[in-house]
Chain A
């Protein structure tokens, strides 16, 4: 019976993996297709990669997307960390519940609504103050920060609750002033949470099509906007090549993360062994 269950699970696992990865594998294969028509096989070729590398607007979109993602991730991590700290460490303050609710609202808000409201907001800002003069990098970045920081705040809150307050109390007890406690204890302990928050904010920004489409202006195309607008004119092989490069990029990142986690796990095991053998 045990044997039967494991066979069933194995089959389910392969079905799941197939659903996840066959489309991507197809995409990679077709990116090497010589034919101009995506579904027609015309033999192996790197022709579309060449086309891609010679197309300036694609590189312009990549540059814009990365810039937005970098600024967004950094600012969102900072603001989200402060918000998380305020929620978990500052005790009860006036409007804490309201603040907490408003902090997570962007997580459940439909993207179209967020995008639309931000567009209205930017237009009225321009009417009132003349800023931002035109929509593009600035508006998309601000829009991304507004929803990314909610994700970061949630991660930071969870991490802060997890690490508890005792270490900070111990530092204060040993004479560390609040700022010193923050820099020497809280932030180092929080660093893994901040890193995952940063990475999540970075990915969310790279990923976003809907909100960026709302708040972008003429000429400012992020990568998702570019890909989507080209797809509307029909499947194009050079987009497959671009997607393949993105997949490769993500795969390398995941591999690095897995390696770091593996090393950390190994180190923990070694520490444990050391504690047991060197113990008294």
Chain B
């Protein structure tokens, strides 16, 4: 079902100890009445990872996170943190802390007291609480804001208080529910990097829930793409983007041109596939037999577009006309109607400034498209 081979790529990173997973999710299912929110998921997360659970709303990612924090109890299955079974352990005894979606700062307490709250529960000495609170404020660059109440802070500052409050107890596992969701776009981009830096500095394992694929790509060491309560694919951002296993992932992360095909021949490490674009040969192995229907995907930026039909004949070449142009500044998106009728998305960098202040291509212009067979992704349904 889910390919665990993707973990292998992490073995090369010295920081990760893959012998002993920090978090083990074993066949966990959560039902609300008849509705299955999380359906039999299985996952290991290793110390030092920044793991993203990515999916649309209602895919079960938040429910899974809440089960890790102890706010929901699995209907079946087991969650182990650092080898210890968490069933029956209430939230206040778990070695996890959570950063909530809208921060959930205590409005009747100052910034300082918000951060100190967790330490106070453990009966830590006052002077140590003060030190650690102060250190956290420095880490998130909020010195001088100790006495303010949360509603006297901007959105970005609140986000940092929430992070400090969740980190101050030095949890084994930090759970972040849409940590950047409430920030505007510019601030979000800046904060993504800040979050990664802080994670590296404190060395705490992060599990982040997000619906924003760009956020997941930037932050994560590994991503689990979720849909309908199940993991569709688990892998590094590159694996997920460049080697999606199926149509859903290819479409959910970025966009892809997808063509239907049937396998004509399957010789070792070479597949011949019949598609609406003609016969395509892929240099890869597959367990699928002759006659099986598959999907082929090509990312829009991996197709080159040119006005010159006579250029090299490497890879797959076809021609069509420009039907629509979306100008984004750094790139442009084209919709090209191929001669045999299929509509294809193409993205091209605008690396030359047009001297006549017009676009590189115009509507109804005849163009040649080219892509290399190695860029074709073989997708399961």
Contact = CB atoms under 8 A, between A and B. Distances in A.
Contacts of A180: 121
Interface stretch (B80-88, B92-100, B363-371): B92-100
Interface stretch (A18-26, A164-172, A210-218): A164-172
Contacts of B169: 174-175
> Taking chain A's interface residues, is the majority helix, strand, or loop, or is none over half, making it mixed?
helix
Given A174-B118, A274-B148, A167 B154 contact: no
Contacts of A280: 154, 156-157, 187
A173 B98 contact: yes
A174 B151 contact: no
Interface in B93-112: 93, 96-98, 100, 102, 104-108
A173 B152 CA distance: 24
A169 B156 CA distance: 22
B121 A175 contact: yes
Interface in B219-246: none
A111 B368 CA distance: 86
Interface in B293-309: none
A268 interface: yes
Interface residues of A, number: 25
B151 A271 contact: yes
A177 B148 contact: no
Contacts of B203: none
Contacts of A171: 106, 117
Nearest to A280: B156
Contacts of B69: 169, 173
A11 B102 CA distance: 46
A274 B152 contact: yes
A169 B71 contact: yes
Interface in A228-273: 268, 271-272
B104 A170 contact: yes
B104 A278 contact: no
Contacts of B97: 173-174
B122 A188 contact: no
A157 to B, nearest CB: 20
Interface string B55-78: 000000000000001110000000
A268 B122 CA distance: 33
Nearest to A172: B91
Contacts of A268: 151
B155 interface: yes
A176 B119 CA distance: 10
B153 A279 contact: yes
Contacts of B211: none
A276 interface: yes
A271 B149 contact: yes
Given A174-B121, A278-B152, A279-B153, 17 more contacts: A166-B104, A167-B104, A169-B71, A170-B104, A172-B92, A173-B92, A174-B117, A174-B118, A177-B92, A271-B149, A274-B152, A275-B152, A275-B154, A278-B148, A278-B154, A280-B156, A280-B187
Closest 5 CB pairs of A and B: A279-B154, A174-B118, A175-B121, A170-B104, A274-B152
Interface of A: 166-167, 169-177, 180, 184-185, 188-189, 268, 271-272, 274-276, 278-280
